[in-house]
């Protein structure tokens, strides 16, 4: 699967993250409320976000979300191999500026990314901090099903973390709320 595609809809452009996206993406990420339920809840700090940004550039799966109407970066998401199931694709590390919450932009991003990933794989996984209720509800709204036997416990960047895993299958995508 091409982990650095350019994906487009009428409203949204997802394109590979570049080094010169730092300023625009940090402007989105610097809002503490974006990270309040995330296991790394201080990712709004410049030094913490810098590590996240640099890692995203190295991993070759990060995309920025550009609101086409304004030609403005409003968030990001990533494709990666899932550490719990390394042969499977994970979509995650998604964040959007608060002005986009509840506007349908997150489902639009996921629709584009899922359509792309499910061309190559029978399912896509989503690993979410167990107390990140906002992200868990958002994923359930788009048809994500909790995978009961996939829980990750341990540390993330030296901090305790517990992640639950959701899945969207090719069939579920075709017949679910995001289906085409």
> Rounded mean pLDDT of 83-103?
92
Give the tens place of pLDDT for each residue, 117-167. Answer: 999 999 999 999 888 898 999 999 899 999 988 887 777 667 777 889 999
CATH homologous superfamily of 7-175: Gcn5-related N-acetyltransferase (GNAT) (3.40.630.30)
What is the pTM (predicted TM-score) of this model?
A: 0.91
Task: Collect all residues with Cβ–Cβ distance below 8 Å to 41 and sequence separation of at least 6.
Answer: 32, 35
Locate the domains of the chain by residue range. Answer: 7-175
Residue with tokens 């940004």: 53
Structure-block tokens of residue 143: 């048809």
Task: Collect all residues with Cβ–Cβ distance below 8 Å to 100 and sequence separation of at least 6.
Answer: 67, 74, 75, 106
Model confidence band, residue 176 (pLDDT cutoffs 50, 70, 90): confident
The β-bridge partners of 65 are 14, 75
């Amino acid at each position: 699967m091409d982990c650095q595609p350019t994906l487009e809809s009428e409203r949204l452009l997802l394109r590979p993250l570049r080094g010169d996206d730092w300023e625009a993406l940090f402007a989105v990420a610097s809002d503490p409320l974006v990270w309040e339920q995330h296991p790394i809840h201080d990712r709004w700090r410049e030094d913490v976000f810098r590590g996240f940004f640099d890692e995203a550039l190295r991993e070759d799966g990060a995309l920025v979300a550009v609101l086409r109407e304004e030609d403005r970066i409003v968030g990001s998401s990533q494709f990666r191999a899932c550490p719990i199931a390394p042969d499977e694709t994970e979509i995650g590390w998604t964040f959007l500026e608060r002005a986009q919450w509840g506007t349908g932009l997150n489902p639009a991003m996921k629709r584009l990314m899922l359509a792309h990933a499910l061309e190559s794989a029978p399912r896509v996984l989503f690993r979410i901090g167990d107390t990140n209720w906002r992200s868990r509800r958002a994923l359930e709204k788009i048809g994500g099903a909790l995978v009961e036997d996939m829980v990750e416990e341990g540390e993330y960047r030296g901090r305790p973390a517990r992640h639950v895993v959701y899945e969207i299958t090719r069939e579920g995508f075709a017949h679910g709320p995001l289906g085409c």
